[in-house]
Chain A
Amino acid sequence: MRKIYLLKNLLLMVSLMLCSFTYAQSISGTVSDASGPLPGANVIVKGTTNGAITDFDGKYTLNNVGADAVIVVSYVGYISHEVNVGGRSTVNVTLQEDASQLDEVVVMGYSTQTRGDVTGSVASVDTDEALKAPVVNASEALQGRVTGVTVVNNSSPGATPKINIRGFGTSNNTNPLFIIDGVQTDDPNILNNINSADIDQMNVLKDGAAAIYGARASNGVVIITTKSGGYNMDKAKISVDMYTGISQIANAPDLLNPTQHADMLWQSMINAGVTPSHPQYGSGSTPFVPGSIQGYRRVISYNPIVFGDNFNATTKVGGTDWIDAITQDAPTSNVAFSMENGTESGKYFMSVGYLTRDGIMNYTGFKRVTSRLNSEFKIKDKITIGEHLNVSYSNTKSGVGEAIEMALRMTPLLPVRDDAGEYTGVAGPGLGNTRNPAAQLYRSDNDYNKRISIFGDVYLQYEILPELKFKTTLAAGMNTFDRRSFTYLDPEHGEPISENSMNEQDQTSYNWSWSNVMNYNKRFDDHSVNALVGVEALKDGGKGKGISRSGYLFEDPDFYLLNNGSGTPSVDYAYDGYNSLFSVFGNVNYSYLDKYYLSGTLRRDESSRFLGDNKSDIFPSASVGWVVSKEDFFGTDGFIDRLKLKASYGELGNQTLPANNPTINISGLSESQANYSFDGSTITQGAILSQVGNPNLKWETSVTTNFGAELTMLDGALSLTGEYFVIKTKDLITRDFSLISSTAIDAGAPLVNLGDIENRGFDFSLGYRNQTDSGFTYAIDANISHYKNEVKNLISSFVSGRGDLRNGAVTRTEVGEEMSYFYGRNVVGFTNDGRFQYEDVNGDGTVDDDDRTKIGSPHADFTYGINLNLGYKGFDASFFFNGSQGNDVYNYNKVFTDFPLFVNGNRSTRVLDSWTPSNTDATLPALLNSGTNNESSSNSYFVEDGSFFRLKNLQLGYTFPTNVAEKMGADSFRFYLQGTNLFTITDYEGFDPEIVAYDNLSLGIDSRIYPNSRIMSIGVNVKF
């Protein structure tokens, strides 16, 4: 027996030795993430302690690995990944970031928290993914990617997007507070001045978590931290990102050609009982499209203006497509360079960027140069000093606001240029009254809006004790704005400008803040405490003026100085002022066993904007969290890895107002509106009340309640979060146009506390990511948000929206309804003579203003975003879809394109489906040559379904294998193709269903927009 045992042992040993000779081997490979090699990742053979850590280039080597072994690759913030070795000697692994990122450090403003500890509603943007799209303004990255956040841009390059978080809690400003490193502002335009490649983290505080920012937090807080470099790097990391591409108009409306236009005019005259005749289209039973413009004229001399008719304009066969005439395939390109490095005692990040984005409308565009330097130094052991500095220059060429409306209305008969090559105009008969939009845009080419923005902060942190730190931060910013616009002579126009003129505007704004924060952070066994107290002072001011002067000898930009005009200069406006805020705040976060969390915040703010007792207020908030999955009863082998429940309550303020001194009456001198002559020659100076004050104005307060759950499943591959919120906004601040109504003095209406509004809704997001053994990675992130808005209380029975539209306001806000619903007549069909038949709402037998009713809602049932990422070997693809469901849009542009307000102007092809006795199931009423029957007043014809589903961004990339990249002298090298706004599925008939609100009492009105663009680009990311 003994021998047998011995033999067995021997055989076993041999076989083991054989095995190890045959199968046990050494493997190596590279661990990387989507952006390149990943240094410091753990690679371990499953079930053993045999492991390695990747080096700076992401490389590892493991000895003694069995052929059928499984290696586990992990890294903080990434989903651990298991791979069967399968006999290979090289195993490369790409890790995917973990959506739940429990250990990620989240910057919360004055402090940081790890993701797993957060009890408020804090959403983080995957900046790598979100900033893939060619954005100009980094806040565009929030769109569709963060639940409950909507971002709408009007597509004009350099325009400021409109952001709002969790519905419309206010009729006032909805801009969230932006914290960019140490700089605080609620001006979203600041993000136009930042190179988006500099951004490291974007976090959005949506509930009571924002209470630490007290009086400015009720619209939420967006916290942006920029890249900072790392300590102890062994060499500088250089990154170069470039793309170049083309923007094109995404969707152009169909307008009439000259034949259709003439037929439309003919039918209009016939319907009006007038014998058809037209200066261009002749007279008789059928119109005739002329080969050249009849009676074409231009100004031949000024002062007095004399028109000459010795000109010809040959019409274009098939007519002029004016939208085409003012739009272009616009080049866009961007170069961003950054470098970071760090030693034991210092680190830095620096970048420069250049972006140029021509607009799809001719002669519009945006150019920007940015540079940034972030650095931090450790001085001795206990002191850290650092700074962030962002300097940018930009020039926005915004073109002419009305050009798109002009292009919609310009007669298709006129060619863009006449036979002599000059721009044509409507000086001839029967051509309408539009200005030539191609000429308008051409003449705006030398206009500019230049901005120099400098902002940043310097901070010092002193470690009094390891657990007690004091930090003082001084942040400041300055913006200078320099605008020039020149009004040229327009000899082609029927109402020609008789004198050229130039307008110059200079504005400077500044802000500074100084915050001092003491932070205490200590763990006692199972208890962990993180607390802070701080004081902060901030000031925000600005000064500016605008001056106009006429009579320039030459229309040449080399000549454009105010002193070269000959008219009397006119000061159009001038202002100077500031507001200030002083705050004391504190916050305590406590956790027990990393299972139970408790957090409380208190902030007292004192604002220069209010008076007396209203000047200051206290904003408290509290939140709790419970990691249920850590309880014993939960077990560890269930389907769910982690379950956390959380709840928060907070009171937040909104003191951002469009006035520095809203509490007092302000009267002032006014050259244009208050002066008068008592003897018919000399002018006497007068004054008017320009602003009605409201001494009782007080803070707008939002009380927010949030309940949330976070779930991770399938070893972290699947994550789900859901939150339910109720936001009650009290005393919401708005201008009271019912107080300063039409029968009042012509002063600015006072800001008042208008009433209360409630938003309730949910945000829901889901993420799943996985990787197949073959190395195919895929991830899907989806989010959906819903809110229900209700007005609870108002100081007047209802409030109307913007009053500057033709025929009055189209939105109304009243108690028990959503804010800003569409209000007007309801079209139910056609009368026997082809006019709109309106619903007799009150049933009194006549239709009048009392029969106006709710005809639509600008509020979506839900909005959503879907992000899909695929990767295989060096290839990656990402798709980003977003959409909105169930909201209506008031297509105000139809006033011009569908109705005869400007009878000789062009119209939409919708008029081809006008009512006739034989076409009673028509889109539009019977054609006429003037408006009638309130058909262009607010009515349901203008209200359209604004739901849409859009492929917002598609990117296809390829990363060269490391060895190839190295041959090219780079650590990594990726190139990509990208498309933005590739398709949109919508029934909306206007340019674009995403509407930038004019104000919050006038939501969803589409008027005078800049067409949306589709951008195709190609780019590279190289790291050295």
Chain B
Amino acid sequence: MKQKFIYLIMLVGLLTACNEEFTESPAVGALSDAALQNEAGVNLMLTGAYSTLDGVRANGFGNGWSISGDNWIMDVVSDDAHKGSTDGDQGDLYQVETFDWSTGNGYFYGKWGVTFAGINRANAVISLINGIEEGDFSAQLAEARFLRGHFNFELQKIWGNVPYISEENYNNSEFNQPNPGPIWDKIEADFEYAANNLPSTQGSEVGRPTSWAAKAFLAKAQLHQGKWSSALTIFNDVINNGPYDLLPDYVDNFRLAGDNSVESIFSIQFTADAGNAFNGNTGGALNFPNPGPFGACCGFYQPTQDLLNAYQTANGLPLLDTFNQTDVTSDYGINSSEAFTPYAGELDPRADYSIGRRGIDYNGYGVNPGKDWIRAEFADISGPYLSRKNVYWNGETDNMATGGWGQQHSGINYHIMRFADVLLMGAEAAAESGDIETALGYVNRVRNRAKNSNYVQAVDGSGDAANYSIEPYTGFSGQDEAVKAVRFERRLELAMEGQRLFDIRRWGNAPQIMNAYFANEARTIGNFGTKVNPYTATYDRFPIPVSAIDLSGNVLTQNPGF
């Protein structure tokens, strides 16, 4: 009997002895914090931070289309684009476009969330580097700070009053920070650090920023604050001493040939890989003609009549004050089976590289038939035009990819900043500083490139597809005209590139521009006038998403007016 007890006690003892090891369970397949404390780890996490440039985050929330790194949503909010498709499709975006904004709209929340994911993935890299005692990680640190600067810049442009999450906050998981106002100083500090620590070239890894890129971003941040002279100094340096130039052909910026060209300063490296093309432009998947010459999703992101009107020229110069008094002929309300004669008046050639319209070749797929390629109905607000810069050209299969259900994941790089943008920002800083000659030079450099580019050709080989006419300015009568011309040139050159909204906001005249646009647009799309609400300065900032305020425990404060 005693023996049996002893066996039992031994059994119990054995189990107890094993148990220290027994109750350890490793995290299989995971990278631990310790495993990342080296160069390979830093590089992995840094790549992870770049990966949010496209707008895709883990455990995403809000609307999945609002997140796109190419900021197409921002053009929809501006006078450049309609949401596209039918009114009921993506109802939240309809509410955004018609300025019926609620703080719970998923489009605001989605963009908000992915921007912070980017900021904090950069913080994760900075924090990781700060915790490693040996080795030189200054290049990676500079890249991480550049990325954080970029994401904070986005946040700043969109919401105005934003919280700043530092690497210390990240380390201590103190993510709920107040948003008393702008964070320009933090943004500038990151770009300054990057400018001082990044190499001037990145060799074959052109997707990484250089010191020149960081300078250009720093200057852009200053431009947004109206620091004209210091911005101009830096822009001049980048323009005169940097490695950049304009591509000979305007359209190459949006074609395979122009990927990572001499004009590219910092771009999202969208890549049409095999499989589900996770590195393609997933957030822009809706923005292809539906139905159309290829693919099928989903008829969103349609340029406005107002934008097309802006391309009207007289003697090769834009109608700065009167463009919205006359319309370029549209096929709105006309079915493809019905006759339509395209506009015969003078147009800036960039019009037909920015806007797809009936009767003109569409990215090499043949003549755009009008309504048959438009998903929206005539009763919807979206109008008759197609976007082009984000749509790959016929035959450029290296840019074509499809996602899990066959949606388009384009490989066309999106230029967060290209050299033409820098020239025009330089021109603006110069004009605002009273240096009209410099402004004129920079603007004309952009216009001359457009003038000397190849124009869209008629499909039948008869020559130009339309009556294109563009000339450089001979001079500006004064500072006001210079500023006006520079601002107008930005719209023409950078149309449908996600820039317009932030320009009109920082110029402070968004209400005038937008309300004029509503009236101009309503001449063509009758419904639009009744559906859209008047624009007020409240709309110069997105509302802080109510879910974000709730999750912060009311640490975040709502922007005025919401």
Contact = CB atoms under 8 A, between A and B. Distances in A.
Interface of A: 269, 272-274, 277-279, 299, 304-307, 429-430, 432-433, 464, 470, 487, 494-499, 501, 516, 518, 535, 537, 539, 548, 550, 567-570, 574-582, 584, 606-609, 615, 660-661, 664-681, 683-692, 737-748, 796-798, 800, 803-804, 806-809, 812, 848-849, 900-905, 929-932, 934, 937-938
A748 B18 CA distance: 32
B294 A930 contact: no
A535 B204 contact: no
20 contacts: A305-B294, A432-B88, A497-B406, A568-B274, A577-B27, A664-B33, A673-B57, A680-B271, A686-B50, A686-B51, A687-B41, A687-B47, A688-B48, A744-B116, A746-B120, A797-B553, A800-B551, A803-B551, A808-B550, A929-B87
Interface string B94-129: 110010101111100100111011001101100000
B291 A746 contact: no
A302 to B, nearest CB: 9
Contacts of A688: 45, 48, 51, 58, 121
Interface stretch (B173-181, B221-229, B237-245, B456-464): B173-181
Contact of B207 (A664, A677, A744): A677
A666 B30 contact: yes
A808 B112 CA distance: 14
B514 interface: no
Contacts of B29: 574-576, 668
Nearest to B123: A745
B61 A668 contact: no
Given A304-B294, A673-B48, A689-B124, 8 more contacts: A576-B28, A679-B260, A680-B259, A683-B273, A686-B47, A808-B547, A901-B91, A930-B531
A279 B335 CA distance: 13
B546 A849 contact: yes
B562 A848 contact: yes
A848 B549 CA distance: 13
A557 B111 CA distance: 41
Given A470-B8, A497-B406, A901 B36 contact: no
B247 interface: no
B296 A498 contact: yes
Nearest to A691: B30
Contacts of B527: 274
A804 B25 contact: no
B170 interface: yes
Interface stretch (B9-17, B467-475, B478-486): B9-17
8 residue pairs, one from A and one from B, having the closest CB atoms: A498-B406, A686-B47, A903-B88, A807-B104, A745-B120, A746-B117, A744-B175, A687-B44
Nearest to B531: A272
Nearest to B165: A743
B25 A577 contact: yes
Interface of B: 1, 4, 8, 11-12, 15-16, 18-19, 22-33, 36, 41, 44-53, 56-61, 86-89, 91-92, 94-95, 98, 100, 102-106, 109, 112-114, 116-117, 120-121, 123-124, 163, 165, 170, 173, 175-177, 202, 204-208, 259-260, 269-271, 273-276, 278-279, 290-298, 375, 377-379, 398, 402, 404-407, 411, 413, 527, 530-531, 545-554, 556, 558, 562
Contacts of A806: 92, 104, 106
Nearest to A548: B404
Contacts of B279: 675-677, 683
Contacts of B377: 279, 429-430
Contact of B88 (A433, A609, A674, A684): A433
A384 B28 CA distance: 41
Given A674-B47, A809-B547, A934-B102, A745 B61 contact: no
Nearest to A583: B19
Contacts of A307: 291
A742 B404 contact: no
B554 A797 contact: yes
Contacts of A497: 405-406
Contact of B290 (A495, A569, A685): A495
A671 to B, nearest CB: 6
Contact of A743 (B98, B259, B295, B548): B548
A668 B30 contact: yes
Contacts of A807: 102, 104-106
Contacts of A430: 377
Contacts of A678: 50, 202, 205-208, 269
Nearest to A433: B89
Contacts of B91: 900-903, 930-931
Contacts of A464: 1, 4
Contacts of A608: 22-25
B112 A742 contact: yes
Contacts of B173: 692, 739-740, 744
A800 B170 contact: no
A737 B117 CA distance: 14
B51 A676 contact: yes
B120 A744 contact: yes
Contact of B23 (A607, A685, A740): A607
A679 B379 contact: no
Given A577-B25, A674-B51, A902-B91, A304 B205 contact: no
Nearest to A736: B173
B45 A305 contact: no
Contacts of A518: 8
Name the residue in A305, A433, A742, A900 with the highest tally of chain B Cβ atoms < 10 Å from its Cβ.
A742
Contacts of A306: 291
B548 A745 contact: no
Contacts of A570: 275-276, 404
A568 B274 CA distance: 6
A69 B397 CA distance: 101
Nearest to A667: B31
A143 B278 CA distance: 46
Given A688-B121, A746-B113, A748-B59, A665 B33 contact: yes
A362 to B, nearest CB: 22
A606 B527 CA distance: 68
Contacts of B53: 676
A932 B96 CA distance: 11
Given A305-B296, A430-B377, A741-B175, A746 B547 contact: no
A762 B19 CA distance: 40
Contact of B295 (A304, A607, A664, A930): A304
A809 B22 CA distance: 41
Contacts of B295: 304-305, 498
B290 A746 contact: no
Contacts of B98: 930
Contacts of A299: 296
Nearest to A692: B173
Contacts of B402: 498-499
A226 B356 CA distance: 72
Contacts of A804: 61
Given A680-B413, A740-B175, A797-B554, A580 B31 contact: no
Residue of B4, B29, B170, B556 ringed by the most chain A CB atoms within 10 A: B29
A152 B12 CA distance: 41
Contacts of A900: 88, 91
A664 B32 contact: yes
Given A279-B377, A900-B88, A930-B95, A803 B47 contact: no
Contacts of B379: 269, 274, 277-279
Given A676-B269, A683-B279, A742-B109, A567 B545 contact: no
Nearest to B561: A848
Nearest to A929: B87
A690 B48 CA distance: 11
Contacts of A609: 25
Nearest to A694: B173
B278 A675 contact: yes
Nearest to A901: B91
Contact of B104 (A501, A738, A745, A934): A934
